[in-house]
Structures are given as structure tokens and as C-alpha cells.
Structure 1
Amino acid sequence: MEFKNEYLGEFYQDEEYEKAQLLWLWYDYHTEVFDRSLWSARDETAVTLTTPLAHSESNRNAMKIREYMYEVARRYNISSSAMHKAKTDGYRNACKMQNRMDTYLALDRLEEFNFINGQ
């Protein structure tokens, strides 16, 4: 652990972890947008799929997006442990989905996700 983080209480993460966080934010946004297009009910927390077909389509889409996300992670040498740490991060899990979507859109305007498509 970094000295500043351990002794001064400052938050510090490296570029690998930051990219992993961006990848999970990208994943959350794209899966949520797709899920909202299916037969579902939703609130500010998340989408609730209401039919077996919607569940199947959602899972198929999520798998496709996750495979691409991990392909990008490998391209940038982002370790599976960094991806797992970002996936299980307390902020990600405590945040309402609409807040994550808004954050994605704000960061997308700043072109923070260009690395995902190799731009």
C-alpha cells in the first residue's frame, strides 16, 4: 500500500485500477441501456426484467459485453485481480444505477472511454 494512503489517509489508485473502474462503468452503462429496452420495470436503482425471454436476452447481451470488456482489459494488461477489485468496489455496489449512468455520460463527454474502442 502506498505510504500516503496508509499514513495520511489519501486515496490513491494506479492507472490499471482506474481503467478497470472505467471498464466496469462502461459495462454497467451498456448492459443497463440494453435491459431498459426489454420488457421490464425499473426504478432509480436498477431494471427488473419481467419475462423469461427478457432474462435470456439480457444474459446473452451481458455475456457479449463482458467478453469484449475482458478483451480490452487484456489488451491494456489490466490484471484479473484489478478487474475483480474494481467489480467488487464498495462505491460501485452502493451506487444507484442512474447515478452510474449519469457518471458514464459525463465521462464519455470527456472522452474517458476512448481507450475501449482503441481511439
Structure 2
Amino acid sequence: MPQRVCRGIACRAAVAQVVRPVAQLAGFARVPLEAGQAARVVFRLHADRTSFTGTEHRRIVEPGEIHLMVGSSCADVHLRGTVRLTGPVRPVGHDRVMHTPADVQPMPA
């Protein structure tokens, strides 16, 4: 019977106009694995997933560095990276992207 492993992606803004959480869960995938098996998990993280309520009480996406962490929890991080959002501050509405798709690809033994 396969074991289910959960992998999540969390993000953190390096600098923002308001205080932000140390880590914010942006997506996750449940990965079924047999003993000794490995898989690659690819997340497609939309910039809207970094949005927050700014100083003018509107939900926005702000340019700047976003630190990414992938692992089974924020205490068990297996991969770290940084991306930079560019452009002006962008308001987002109720139609913002709220889903982070994940593709799970088995890896050869």
C-alpha cells in the first residue's frame, strides 16, 4: 500500500508595506509513494498567491523578492529559492487566482 507524503510550498515577502507572516502556505500536493520510490513535484505559483491587504485596505500584489520554501512543513524545508516580482503595485479582486496547481512525476529508480 503506498504511503502518502505531503509536500507544500510556502512563500514569504522579504519586504512589504505591512507586516506579513513568516511563511504563508501557497499550495500543497499529496504524493503517493511506495517504499524506496521518489517523485518530482512541480508547483505553478501565480503571483496572485502572494497578494495581501495593503495599507489602503485593498488586496494587492507588490513587487519585490519572494522567498519560497518547499517541504513537508515550515520546520522541514527541503528546498529554498527566491523569485522577484517586477512591475507596479497591482490591485487584485475577488477573481484573483487562488489555486496552485501541482504536477507529480514519478522518478526512475
Whether TM-score is above 0.5 comes out as no
Q: Relative to total residues, which structure has the larger strand share, 1 or 2?
A: 2
The structure with the greater share of residues assigned to helix is: 1
Q: What is the TM-score with the length of structure 2 in the denominator? A: 0.28
The alignment's TM-score, normalised by the length of structure 1, stands at: 0.27
